[in-house]
Structure 1
Amino acid sequence: MIQLFLAELKRSWIQYIRYPVEALGGILITTFFFYALFVGAQYVAGPASQFGERLDAVVIGYVLWTLVIFIVNDIALNLQVEAQTGTLEQVLLSPFSAASIFLARACASFSLRFASVTAILLVILALTGSRLQFPPSLILPLASVVLGAYGFSFLLGSAALIFKRIQQLLIISQFGLLFLLATPTEEWQGSLKWVGQALPMTAGAGLLRDVMVRDVGLDGLRLLMALITGVVYFALGMVAFRWSVRVAKDRGILGSQ
């Protein structure tokens, strides 16, 4: 598995440096979009506006959303490209399972995407004056978000294998993910509080806002629920992907578009 990951990492790096303008353009566009929203909000609120913690929370939600979008779209778009170029069947003839191949590919791509998202975060912090905390404890809630994102990515990859063209579904999912990651579900009360904890990636996003914005220590119970939720959604995505591979093989539609 390590050898597979290293091979996919090399492949992702070659593709990344082959199109440097596209990579740089993605960083600039994503940053400019947020800054345009920030300037517009300042204009509407007036010159005396002070966003305080709300700005920091919005920055966290936006950057998390950017990272999750990279992850979620990765597998589905990868499958569509492989099908269009006619190499999908060759990839699945590998000694490794389809789930292992695309998981290794996704992890390799994540290492490069994470560097891009970090650059986006640093530029946004410089432009807006936002101040965030970066304690080591943020790794665990971030891991729960990434696990949930990979689970969602494999679910969309399953749909891409069966239905082929899912561009509109990907667009719709982006708005849904923005709601999940930007909404402060950690402030919900009563029964809605437990609903917020059970939604994919929301518990981890709330913990990141607590740690990085409010400088609050990790709540052990909420962290446990966030990790369990991330693992559950990841497992669901893997099961769905393995099932969709079997169905696509049985129907003979792996190489179709």
Structure 2
Amino acid sequence: MKSFKAECWYQIYLYKRYLFNYLSDLFLLILMFMGIFWSGTLVGNGIIGSSLNATVIGYVLWTLIQNTISQMGMTVANEARNGILEQQYLMPISTKQLFFNKSIVNIITSTVQVTLVLLLIMFFTGHWLNLSLLTLLPFSLTLIATIGLGYVVVSLVLRLKRIGSTLIIFQYIYLAVLLINFEYYSSPIKILSCLLPICPMVSWIRLIVNQHSYNLPFYLVGSLFNAAFWLIIGLLVFNLTNKYIKQKGTLSLY
């Protein structure tokens, strides 16, 4: 519990110390979406109705992934560069618990930022989404899947050290994936999309927001499977990587 509190205070101090930078990041996220929105408005009839709902949901959840997973990777890389990571490995808690605390704190801060992004996007576009309490279920499962993805990214940083460019490429590839409406494809493709991180949750949320009829058992089972699958994958990859770097003594950046 002490390490979790320390991680929380660490994030608070970072936000206070570099507030201008974080506000700039928030402004950039809003500006990027407005660029997507305005470009869609200039083509044909623009992005309207349910297509705008789909775009907003996909973009907001991409923002959550970007802040939770990519930021996690950048943080661990910076800590390895500064020697902080080696100190953390000497703490009297397991490394799994250490990075779990980091993931939870990242998720909390990212959820707050995503909420602000969503509210500002709806304000600037004048298009307000009708969110029901049922939306909390797929969103919660999304957070569980991002914990697993966080472990995967941390494993890559611990093993490969410098993956900044890879994280940037991953962000924009996944933005395109999240903007694809898998819920309107054939059944085999919808089933295969359940293997992609958080894709069934995104489709489920879009269907709820657009008030479309859907197969509830399919999306419930698919989302539960997706969350459990990526959490297990993340833990397995992290355990193997953690064991490897301890045996080889390759924790430091150099």
Q: Deviations over 1:94-121 (max 9, x none)?
A: 1111121111112112212211111111
CA drift of 1:181 comes to 1.7
Tell me the secondary structure at the aligned position of residue 48 of structure 2. coil
Q: Deviations over 1:204-255 (max 9, x none)?
A: 0011101122265781331122022111101111121121111111111111
Which residue of the partner structure matches residue 134 of structure 1?
A: 131
C-alpha distance in 1 between matches for 2:68 and 2:238: 15
Instruction: Say if 1:50 and 1:243 are closer, same or farther in 2 by CA, change over 3 A.
Output: closer
AA aligned to 1:7 is A
Identity of aligned residues (%): 26
Which residue of the partner structure matches residue 34 of structure 1?
A: 33
Which residue of the partner structure matches residue 202 of structure 1?
A: 199
Instruction: Say if 1:255 and 1:77 are closer, same or farther in 2 by CA, change over 3 A.
Output: same
Which residue of the partner structure matches residue 145 of structure 2?
A: 148
Q: Deviations over 1:145-204 (max 9, x none)?
A: 222222222112111111111112112211232133211111111321211223221000
C-alpha distance in 2 between matches for 1:185 and 1:41: 20
Matches within 5 A, 1:7-156: 7-45=6-44, 49=46, 51-156=48-153
- TM-score (structure 1 length as normaliser): 0.92
Would you say the 8 A contact 2:83–2:252 is kept in 1? yes
- TM-score (structure 2 length as normaliser): 0.93
CA drift of 1:135 comes to 1.2
AA aligned to 2:62 is W
CA drift of 1:86 comes to 1.0
C-alpha distance in 2 between matches for 1:73 and 1:50: 28
Would you say the 8 A contact 2:183–2:190 is kept in 1? yes
Q: Which runs of 5 or more structure 2 residues have no equivalent in the other structure?
A: none
C-alpha distance in 2 between matches for 1:208 and 1:153: 22
Q: Which moved more, 1:36-45 or 1:56-65?
A: 36-45
Once superposed, what is the RMSD of the aligned Cα atoms? 1.7
Tell me the secondary structure at the aligned position of residue 253 of structure 1. coil
C-alpha distance in 2 between matches for 1:200 and 1:52: 26
Tell me whether 1:4 sits opposite 2:30 in the alignment: no
Tell me whether 1:168 sits opposite 2:165 in the alignment: yes
Q: Which runs of 4+ in 1 moved over 3 A?
A: 215-218
Would you say the 8 A contact 1:53–1:214 is kept in 2? no
Q: Which moved more, 1:211-220 or 1:17-26?
A: 211-220
Tell me the secondary structure at the aligned position of residue 251 of structure 2. coil
CA drift of 1:49 comes to 4.5
Which residue of the partner structure matches residue 241 of structure 1?
A: 238
- Alignment length (residue pairs): 254
C-alpha distance in 1 between matches for 2:212 and 2:6: 40
C-alpha distance in 1 between matches for 2:111 and 2:188: 34
